[in-house]
Structure 1
Amino acid sequence: MSTPATDKLRTAAPAASASHPKGRLSRTRVRAAWLFLLPMLVVLLLVAGWPLLRTIWFSFTDASFSTLHEAHFIGLENYLNYDEGEWYGVLADPQWWGAVRNTLFFTLVSVSLELVLGMVFALVLNAQFPGRALVRAAVLIPWAIPTIVSAKMWSWMLHDQFGILNHLLISLGILDTPLAWTANSSLSLWAVVMVDVWKTTPFMALLILAALQMLPSDCYEAARVDGIHPVRVFFRVTLPLITPALLVAVTFRVLDALRVFDVIYVLTSNSADTMSMSVFARQQLVEFQEVGYGSAASTLLFLFIALLTLAWLYLGRKRLQGDL
């Protein structure tokens, strides 16, 4: 039965718990954390936030490099505009949509191959064998090479006349004539994917290997005693336990692949067959000097990556919680 005295005690209870020493300690830690994070947040705002806001603003103007300080607000014309019976703007540009298709294809294929190969390499490197430390160091070499250097190195090896890859394939009898790996429209995007997989598979393998080494050994000892097949152990024990690490690794790689620029530009320059969204934005900004149009493309790229990342993180959280 409720009485005025008990109601007073109930309303006073939260205040008493808030003034508890543990509550004060928690608030002190939160304030200290924000104080430590504040310099980093200010620097991040200046380094990333201001250029992003400036790019978004330019996307609503007719700015060019020659009239950068005399730009006029034109609304959404750089994105989509209907004039005299025709649509104009980035969203009506077939080259932009070609770049979107190339970027999505590159992301899907390269990240999928890197996930599978990275898993295989991580499982091999997690096993005990002589010289394992040396093999681990050797596997990381492609990832340690700067992307520009590795892309230029592969452009020489993929050369249609002087490249060593064509020479080896012809010597083995696999090819009759050399192939133009980076100039052929049906091979160029696959060549870019191959170079990216060679470059970043060690990164995926390293993250998966770190997750494998954190797994408890008693589960595997029990499975070995019960005589469970290793394939079943992998799918029933190993894979569910390393799923959070896989989600983190795939998220990093998807973000990196969606904004790919350097490896594509070095290997194929501005070729429409391999042009990514970043290469398209760079072409509009630098070569055509259309700051407004290029800023619109860059803003769309940012929004596309941000929305896809939020959706991926949401689905990943639901998957871990067992709702999917």
Structure 2
Amino acid sequence: MADTVDSSSGSPASEGAGRQNRVQRYRNLRFSEEELAVILLTPVVSFLLAVSFYPIFDTIVGSFHTGYVLDMNPREFVGLENYRALYGSGPLLEQFLNGDGFWNALRISLIYTVVSVPVELVLGLGLALLLNREFKGKYFAQAAILFPWAIPTVINARIWAWMFNGQYGVINDLLIRIGIFAEPFPFLARPDTALASMLFITIWKTSSFMALILLAGLQSIPDHLYEAARMDGASRIRQFRDITLPLLKPTLLVALIFRTLPAFQAFGLPYGLTGGGPASATTTLVLFDHQMTFNRLNFGEGAATATIITAIAAAIAMLYVGTLYEPEVR
């Protein structure tokens, strides 16, 4: 005789009871705050170790070796030879001011950063102060200023390369039409104007990004502070000096770090605009590293350059934090 089948085993009631039992077992798991922090952070830390810290460590190790990545033979340990090759010969100051190769790229990157970031900060703060006021079309203006920043960097570079073209560029055509130039000017073919053009483009593109970050900081400042200051007879300049700037310091720190590090590590704009030319006049440090590694296939010096870039970027970040960070803003 056939075995009887328990009709209740697959009923919805029994399935619901089973789910409740599982949920109850999960709820009975009790973790301390430290244990819960370890459980939640382990996937993030593992991901960072795999995709960030390990490549950095491997790059540092590679900077002390020579050879190609795809070679069948193992890489040869050469100590500091890759760094010595980048340094060249001669006094440090002379190398920095007049050297080529690595030193030229470092000089261009520092000029690019030191000139562009302060101008972007001032323009971004001015835009943020204007956009923080009440006026008709305010939200449309806030969305419109993000347009330059939203354009991908390489596409932006190709657009401006066409506009600055010395033969058929729109900018040359406009300047000739209004009588400033009598003939086309090769903006991107001369070392001095090529770097100036690149600075103009990056300021145009990223000032809106600065404004977006600073606007968020301005909107977090309570209005009653300004009302109390106005009741005490404080002028707008004094309100800006005594209220806006002190309370905006944490936001300024974030904005400066977010712009200084990408500016120092600029690649897409010089790559798409001039390819580093003319005569390496717009070759930034990251573009030099790219050329050294993938064009010349010198992986040892390329790794040494990448290590130096990482060290300088870390130093810049620590400098900003040590200068602008205030413990009472925690």
TM-score normalized by the length of structure 1: 0.83
Q: CA deviation at 1:59?
A: 1.1
Would the aligned equivalents of 1:59 and 1:292 in 2 still touch at CA under 8 Å? yes
From 285, 290, 304, the counterpart of 1:296: 304
Q: Which moved more, 1:110-119 or 1:195-204?
A: 195-204
State the alpha-carbon separation in 1 of the partners of residues 231 and 321 from structure 2.
Answer: 38
- Name the SS for the 2:241 alignment partner: helix
From 40, 47, 64, the counterpart of 1:43: 47
Tell me which stretches of 4 or more aligned residues in structure 1 moved more than 4 Å: none
- The alpha-carbon distance between structure 1 residues 68 and 104, as it changes in their structure 2 partners (threshold 3 A), is farther
Per-residue CA deviation, residues 220-246 of structure 1 (Å, 9 max, x unaligned), is 112333343212211222111111111
State the alpha-carbon separation in 1 of the partners of residues 295 and 84 from structure 2.
Answer: 22
Tell me the equivalent position of 1:192: 198
Tell me the equivalent position of 1:222: 228
Tell me the equivalent position of 1:278: 286
Would the aligned equivalents of 1:126 and 1:213 in 2 still touch at CA under 8 Å? yes
State the alpha-carbon separation in 1 of the partners of residues 288 and 175 from structure 2.
Answer: 33
Would the aligned equivalents of 1:143 and 1:203 in 2 still touch at CA under 8 Å? yes
Q: How many residues align?
A: 289
From 229, 238, 261, the counterpart of 1:232: 238
- Name the SS for the 1:79 alignment partner: helix
Q: CA deviation at 1:101?
A: 0.9
- The alpha-carbon distance between structure 1 residues 154 and 81, as it changes in their structure 2 partners (threshold 3 A), is closer
Q: How does 1:153-192 map to 2 (within 5 A)?
A: 153-192=159-198
From 20, 23, 29, the counterpart of 2:33: 29
- The alpha-carbon distance between structure 1 residues 66 and 28, as it changes in their structure 2 partners (threshold 3 A), is closer
Tell me the equivalent position of 1:62: 66
Per-residue CA deviation, residues 96-128 of structure 1 (Å, 9 max, x unaligned), is 111111111111111111100100110010000
Percent identical among aligned pairs is: 37
- The alpha-carbon distance between structure 1 residues 220 and 109, as it changes in their structure 2 partners (threshold 3 A), is same
- The alpha-carbon distance between structure 1 residues 315 and 228, as it changes in their structure 2 partners (threshold 3 A), is closer
Q: CA deviation at 1:80?
A: 1.3
Would the aligned equivalents of 1:65 and 1:290 in 2 still touch at CA under 8 Å? no
1:146 partner amino acid: P
- The alpha-carbon distance between structure 1 residues 172 and 292, as it changes in their structure 2 partners (threshold 3 A), is same
- Name the SS for the 1:173 alignment partner: coil
Tell me the equivalent position of 1:203: 209
Tell me the equivalent position of 1:6: none
Q: CA deviation at 1:41?
A: 1.1
- The alpha-carbon distance between structure 1 residues 266 and 130, as it changes in their structure 2 partners (threshold 3 A), is same
Per-residue CA deviation, residues 115-173 of structure 1 (Å, 9 max, x unaligned), is 00100110010000001111111111111111111111111111111111111122222
Tell me the equivalent position of 2:318: 310
Would the aligned equivalents of 1:270 and 1:283 in 2 still touch at CA under 8 Å? no
Q: CA deviation at 1:287?
A: 0.7
Q: Which moved more, 1:34-43 or 1:175-184?
A: 175-184
- The alpha-carbon distance between structure 1 residues 81 and 201, as it changes in their structure 2 partners (threshold 3 A), is closer
1:255 partner amino acid: L
State the alpha-carbon separation in 1 of the partners of residues 201 and 40 from structure 2.
Answer: 40
State the alpha-carbon separation in 2 of the partners of residues 156 and 71 from structure 1.
Answer: 43
RMSD: 2.2
Q: Which moved more, 1:148-157 or 1:64-73?
A: 64-73
Would the aligned equivalents of 2:261 and 2:316 in 1 still touch at CA under 8 Å? no
Q: Which runs of 5+ in 1 are unaligned?
A: 1-26
Q: How does 1:244-283 map to 2 (within 5 A)?
A: 244-271=250-277, 272-283=280-291
- The alpha-carbon distance between structure 1 residues 68 and 49, as it changes in their structure 2 partners (threshold 3 A), is farther
From 126, 130, 141, the counterpart of 1:135: 141
State the alpha-carbon separation in 2 of the partners of residues 104 and 128 from structure 1.
Answer: 38
Say if 2:80 is the partner of 1:80. Answer: no
TM-score normalized by the length of structure 2: 0.82
Tell me the equivalent position of 1:18: none
Q: CA deviation at 1:65?
A: 5.1
From 52, 56, 60, the counterpart of 2:56: 52
State the alpha-carbon separation in 2 of the partners of residues 211 and 130 from structure 1.
Answer: 22
Would the aligned equivalents of 1:65 and 1:289 in 2 still touch at CA under 8 Å? no
Q: CA deviation at 1:215?
A: 0.7
